[in-house]
Structure 1
Amino acid sequence: MKTRNLLCAACLIAALAAFYACSDDDNPTPPLSPKDWTIMEQASYGNIAEIEMGKVADSISATDSVKQFGQMMIADHTIAQKDLQGIANMFSVDIPQTPDSLHAAKKQQLMMMSGYTFDTAYINGQIKDHQATIALLEMAAISEQKALQDYANKYLPKVKMHLEHAQSIADNLKP
C-alpha cells in the first residue's frame, strides 16, 4: 500500500512538473495593447455590420448583383467574425456581438428604402465601410500580435476584393 501511495505521489509530482514545464512562460505572447483591442473591437463591429446589412440587402433589393453581394457579405464576414472570436478567446477578451450605434441607425434607414434608392445607399455604404476596414486591417498587419497579423493578412485581400466588387456594382446601377 505504501509503495502504491508513493507511486501515486511521484506521478502527481511528475505531472505537475510537466505542466509547469509546458507553461506559456517559456514562450510569452505580448499582452494585448489598447491599440490591438481597438482593432479587434472595430473589426468585430465591422463584421457584424456587414452581416446585418447583407441580410437587409438580400431581403430588400430587387437587383441580383446587390442581393448576391449581400449574400457574399453574410458568408464571408460570418467566417471572419468566427476567426476574430477565436483570437479574442485566445486573449480572454470579449468582442462586440452587435453592430455599433452608427451601423444600427444606418440599418434602420436602409430598411425604409427600396429600389434604386436602397441599392445605391447600400452599395455606397459598402464602399465606405470596406475602405475603412482596409485601413483597419493594414494597422492590424503591423501589430505586435502575430494572431492579428495573420488575421489581417488572411482577410485584407478579400476585403479589397469586396471593395472592388462594390465599386463595380455602383458603376453599373441604373435608376
Structure 2
Amino acid sequence: MSDDKERGGLKGLADKAQDMVGGMVGMASASTAGSHNTEAFIANACMGDLYEVEAGRLAMQRARSDDVRMFGEMMVEHHTTAMHQMRSALRSREVTDALPGAAPTMELDDRRAGMLKHLQDAPDDDFDKMYLDQQRMAHQETVALHKGYAEHGDNPQLRSVALGGLPMVERHLKALGRIGVH
C-alpha cells in the first residue's frame, strides 16, 4: 500500500471516529439540555436543519448511488421546510412574548462543521457510506431532541414545532434503513 493511500485511510478512520464521538455527544446534549431548555432546543434544531441542508447538497453533487443522491435531495427539501417552520414559530407572538429577540441559529457549531468537512474531504469511493453513517447519527440525535422538547419543553408553540417535525425525521430514519451502499 502506498504511503498516500495509507494516510488517506487513516484520515478516513480518524474522521469516522471523530464523527461517532461527536454523535454520542450530540445525543447526550439532545437528550438533556436540548429537551428542556428552549434556547438550546432552538439552537440545536436550527443547526441540525442547516447541517442536513448542506450535507444534502454535497450528496446531490458527490453521491455515486442514485438512492443516496435522491436522499440528499429530499434532505435539502424537507429540512429547508423545517427551517422555515422554525422561523415562523420564532416570529409568533407566543414565542416573541416569552423570548424577545429569539432568532434562528444560522451557523454550524464546530462539531457539525467538522462533519461537513469530513464529507468534503472523503474520497469518492467512501462518500456515500460516510454520508449515510452521518445521516443515521444526525437523525437519531434529532429524534431525541424533538421528542424530549415535545415532552418537556416550556414553550407550547415550540413544543408544537418539535412534535410536528418528529414524524418527518422518523420517516428519514426508516428511509435510511432501506438504502444500501456497497
CA distance, structure 1, for counterparts of residue 177 and residue 133 of structure 2:
8
Pairing 1:125–2:134 present = yes
Which structure carries more helix by proportion?
2
CA distance, structure 2, for counterparts of residue 117 and residue 35 of structure 1:
37
CA distance, structure 2, for counterparts of residue 70 and residue 106 of structure 1:
15
Indicate the residue corresponding to 1:54 in structure 2: 56
Pairing 1:87–2:93 present = no
> Runs ≥4 in structure 1, deviation > 3 angstroms?
none
Indicate the residue corresponding to 2:14 in structure 1: none
Within the candidate set 72, 75, 78, 1:76 is matched to 78
SS in 1 for 2:121: coil
Indicate the residue corresponding to 1:98 in structure 2: 107
Q: State whether residues 137 and 156 of structure 1, in contact with CA within 8 Å, keep that contact through their aligned partners in structure 2.
A: yes
Within the candidate set 164, 167, 173, 1:163 is matched to 173
Indicate the residue corresponding to 1:173 in structure 2: 181
CA distance, structure 1, for counterparts of residue 80 and residue 58 of structure 2:
15
Indicate the residue corresponding to 1:137 in structure 2: 146
CA distance, structure 1, for counterparts of residue 177 and residue 42 of structure 2:
26
Q: State whether residues 59 and 72 of structure 2, in contact with CA within 8 Å, keep that contact through their aligned partners in structure 1.
A: yes
CA distance, structure 2, for counterparts of residue 114 and residue 72 of structure 1:
23
Letter in 1 for 2:174: E
C-alpha offsets along residues 14-50 of structure 1, whole Å, 9 cap, x if unaligned? xxxxxxxxxxxxxxxxxxxx80111111000000000
* Structure 2: 5+ residue stretches without partners: 1-35
CA distance, structure 2, for counterparts of residue 41 and residue 125 of structure 1:
19
Identity %: 26
Q: State whether residues 60 and 114 of structure 1, in contact with CA within 8 Å, keep that contact through their aligned partners in structure 2.
A: no
Q: State whether residues 141 and 150 of structure 1, in contact with CA within 8 Å, keep that contact through their aligned partners in structure 2.
A: yes
Letter in 1 for 2:164: K
Pairing 1:112–2:121 present = yes
Greater gyration radius: 1
Higher RCO (CA-CA < 8 Å; seq separation 6+): 2
